[in-house]
Amino acid sequence: MELFSRKHKLERPSVGLIHEDIPIGVRRALWNILCREVSIGDTSAWMVLQKLIFKAPQIQRDFQFEVSPPHAWGKLKEVVEKCQWDSFLDSCVVLSYYLDDSTWKASYPSLTGKILTKEINTIFSDNSIGYELRENKIEKIGPPFVDKVVAQVRQILEHPDYGGPNEQFEKAISFLNQLPNPDTANCVKDAIGAVEGLARIVSGNNKLILSKILDSEQFRSEIPATLREMIQKLYAYRGDAEGVGHGQTSKGQIPIEEAELALGASASCMIYLAKKFGKEP
């Protein structure tokens, strides 16, 4: 069966996606995948699966898997259905990673980590879950324009000369994906810091701050004034994210919509600077 939205590759808007809960139907869908491939009587396989599920933080095991597993099997199903939503996502990450082990793949080639990741993402998409499994990480689905430019700049930052900015930008993404509460302030700080790092590399001015680089003769002559001002404003906003901006929450965080915008804007700036002055993979 092919759903209409999948066939026509329709994107779901980020507004309305579920970010702070995992409905029971999604939990049971994951459980059904496991049960489809592993029979209830396969004690050794279920012992592996339960060890993986209990690697997730906040999930406490209060029972032992028995030689005759139905009781423990039912308890494990209850854990999957009732654990905290962020712990459920952690379990998905652990399962997708460890099921690519060669020993497991030899016994269960139809339930490898790669296959499970694809099925989990399909379930998430069909149920409007605002997360996706990408390379054994849970990443938040943002506005479509942000996801597209982030994917594009990630490819550019793979260039060996851009190791520093690449590392800092990945940190920014990880801060935004932090569960259960994203660290939006550090997301913004590191995203814009990555812009500064890339600007230093392409300009050859490794010690100057971004505002000084933008005022250098090379950048003033080759970047239109309005675009330089835009990047300057983005750099100035980093100070807001570090504690002096408006609209922050009680913990020094900024609204997630602003963090997503800053992440996307930073990605766009790095794409521009790399294309105009630097190197691409």
Class in CATH terms, 143-277: mainly alpha
Neighbours of 273 (CB within 10 A): 22
- Give 69's pLDDT tier (boundaries 50, 70, 90): low
The pLDDT of residue 241 is 58
pTM greater than 0.95? no
Mean predicted confidence (pLDDT) in 206-211: 90
Inform me whether the pLDDT recorded for 159 exceeds 90.
Answer: yes
Neighbours of 22 (CB within 10 A): 23
Q: Please give the angle made by the CA atoms of 80, 81 and 87, to the nearest 5 degrees.
A: 55
**CATH 1.20.120 domain range(s) in the chain:** 143-277
Q: Please give the angle made by the CA atoms of 260, 279 and 273, to the nearest 5 degrees.
A: 45
Tell me the per-residue pLDDT of 234-275, one tens digit each, with 9 for 90 and over.
999 987 655 534 444 445 678 988 999 999 999 999 999 999
Inform me whether the pLDDT recorded for 7 exceeds 90.
Answer: no
The pLDDT of residue 246 is 43
- Give 67's pLDDT tier (boundaries 50, 70, 90): low
Tell me the per-residue pLDDT of 29-40, one tens digit each, with 9 for 90 and over.
999 999 999 988
User: Which single residue is written with the structure tokens 């209990």?
Assistant: 54
d(CA 239, CA 223): 23
